[in-house]
Amino acid sequence: MRFGVFVPQGWKMDLVDFDSGPDKYAALRRVAREADKLAYDSLWVYDHLHTDPVPSLEATFECWTLMAALAVETQRIRLGQMVTCNSYRPPSLLAKLSANVDVISQGRLDFGIGAGWYEHEYLAYGYPFPPVGERLRQMEEAIQVITAMWTQDHARFQGRYYHVDGAINEPKPVQKPHPPIWVGGSGEKVTLRIVAQRGDASNFGGPVEEVQRLCQVLQGHCRTVGRNPDELTRSTSIEPLIIAETEKQASALAERAGVSLEDTIGGTPEQCIERIRAYERVGINYLICYFQDVARDLAPLRLFAEQVIPAFQ
């Protein structure tokens, strides 16, 4: 089991306590640098343009400019997106952006991609919002374009939605054959089949029983395409993960976050370890944590790294 952590980015209204854009970025940077010193394997950002659940006049830092900044702000930790919305950038441009970030970070990029869902953002920014089936087909083509541009000198691809004809993408990514491709989503017929056929990692959420079922579906797709499922990272995101020294303190944090400890991974370090073991038993080998108030208080970030992560090493 490995562990990643989300940086506070504004999308979940988690930077509202800071007045200016530079102050908000400074809070974000402080979390990233602290996680880089601790036992986390990776940092993660969302790819959204407006706040959630209600669009507001609050800062939301853009995914790929933030990736480039974090590549410089940190030294060791890997950098991922959960997940890049395929519709927001042409895949040829996304191949270029991601290759640059892998070079700047000296090979620390985890490349996340998804079909997109936040209709309000699409319409507000003037992007077409086709039906979900079409968005999934676009994403699958995009992965092929991006992989070609990461690995070919003169990339060529002709699809229904995208094409490139002799596209040059230099410098190439540092990681060979290319950065790991993380596909986000729990669609059983299409998304998990794309993971099995073209991805290196999956990310889907839900209760332990649902996650177990999705792991089994993914294994079935792997058998169909002739792939060893053990090659794949199987991750889930816990949003929020609640941790404190005592159960009383954890309950207070959960109440502030508007969740129940029973509905998430939460409680004391020992209770968190027990809940994570349940995910591990059903096939999850990577956990990405979102700590609600980490921009203001680094204590949960440190407590988890010091008392939970060592139990899985």
Distance CA 290, CA 138 (A): 29
pLDDT of amino acid 83:
95
* Residue 278 pLDDT class (50, 70, 90 cuts): very high
The structure's pTM equals 0.96
Please give the average per-residue pLDDT across 300-306, as a whole number: 98
Q: Is the pLDDT of residue 268 over 90?
A: yes
Segment 249-268 mean pLDDT: 93
Tens digit of each residue's pLDDT (9 = 90 or more) over 230-241: 999 999 999 999
**Mean pLDDT of the chain, nearest integer:** 97
Q: State mean pLDDT over 215-219.
A: 97
**By the 8 A CB rule, do 145 and 217 touch?**
no
Whether pLDDT at 53 is above 90:
no
Strands (E) located in the chain = 2-6, 42-45, 78-81, 84-85, 109-114, 155-158, 163-167, 181-184, 201-203, 233-238, 242-243, 266-267, 286-289
Contact between residue 57 and residue 51 where contact means Cβ atoms under 8 Å apart = no
Angle at Cα 69 formed by Cα 115 and Cα 306, nearest 5°? Answer: 90
Matching residue, tokens 């020992």: 270
Q: How many domains does the chain have?
A: 1
Q: Residue 189: which domain range?
A: 2-312
pLDDT tens-digit series, residues 16-31: 999 999 999 999 999 9
**pLDDT band, very low/low/confident/very high, at 282 (cuts 50, 70, 90):** very high
What are the structure tokens assigned to 4, written together? Answer: 């990643």
Q: For residue range 76-86, what is the model confidence (pLDDT) as tens digits?
A: 999 999 999 99
> 208-225 and 191-198 are packed helices; what angle lies between their axes, rounded to 10 degrees?
50
> What is the domain-level CATH number for residue 274?
3.20.20.30
Give the list of residues 6+ apart from residue 204 with CB closer than 8 angstroms, or none.
184, 185, 186, 192, 211, 214, 236
When pLDDT is averaged across residues 206-215 and rounded to a whole number, the result is 96
- pLDDT-derived band at 91 (thresholds 50, 70, 90) equals very high
Q: Say what percent of the chain tops pLDDT 70.
A: 100
